[in-house]
Amino acid sequence: MRFFLFLILFLSFFACTTNENIENSIETEVTTIDSVFVEIDSITPHLYPSYSVADSSWKVGLEINEGFFESYTICYKDSSCFTTLYDESVPVIGGVDYPPAQFINDTTYHIPNIGSSKNGYFELFIYKNGKCKYNEIILKKSISSVNIEILDEQSYDKETQKPSKIEYKYTNIENSIQFIHSIINYSEPNVGCSGSTSELTFTIPTVNDSFYISGTEVLDIKCSYQFSGGLYDEKGSSITKGVIKGKKQQDNNWHIEAEIYILTNSFPQEETFEKEFKLNNYFTTW
């Protein structure tokens, strides 16, 4: 009888030790790889088989602002959550592209395309233990069936990535001043639907050299916001709260500081939410 009790205790201890070793080996594996560069002959995002996660003890949420990946949040079954910001050392130059993110196993969440790079695009792996890994997928065109001279002639315009165009402008309209902040992210030549545009506009009554708008007054400010990128759009036209202040400079530019929230609708998800905007910029006349 004692022998059987000893055997059961031994097997239970062995099973626990094995599971602990597996967990430790997973964490070691995902934290020792900073980046992997893969050469492929396709412009299709590097995909993995989808997986209906059986482990419901964790969920992943993504923060994407104006088409750009900003952070991810992991929430566990015990209600604990933590957020990890985008690693700014990763040289992303474009917006998030499709297809959408998905689980590829119980411990790994995969975002196929968080934005383009000079040589292709980046994918992101998020792990249950909170770690993540960025991979750059380097696009390498096959020239086995293409005339090399023709490829060289056509490559200058079609494969040159334009830098993003960011503008802060203002104009005087009748008895008001209209401020416009616009961003154009041009499409990466090798990645479809990677371009995006956004525009934030707000109008205040004409003032000479400064203004400060807060409280209920900010609710009356005429504004509009719209974003379009790939298969995703956002629109808004009502400020729900915030502060806007401005001071005119000697060169006639306006220094604008603002923190406002705009009631925004997304498409095709048809979600409604408050979107935060922060400004600390100089607006020049058209």
pLDDT tens track for 24-73:
333 333 333 344 555 444 445 556 666 666 678 888 888 888 778 888 88
Q: What is the pLDDT of residues 175-219, one digit of tens each?
A: 999 999 998 887 665 555 567 899 999 999 999 999 999 999 999
- pLDDT of 80 reads 86
Structure tokens given for 84: 């990890």
For strand 165-173 and strand 176-185, is the pairing parallel, antiparallel, or unpaired? antiparallel
Q: Is the CB of residue 236 less than 8 Å from the CB of residue 222?
A: no
Residues 6+ apart with CB under 8 A from 162: 186
Rg from Cα positions in the chain: 25
**Chain segment 130-174, per-residue pLDDT in tens:** 889 888 888 764 333 333 333 333 333 444 556 778 899 999 988
Beta-sheet pairing, 35-40 with 132-139: parallel
The span from the CA of 136 to the CA of 34, in Å, is 11
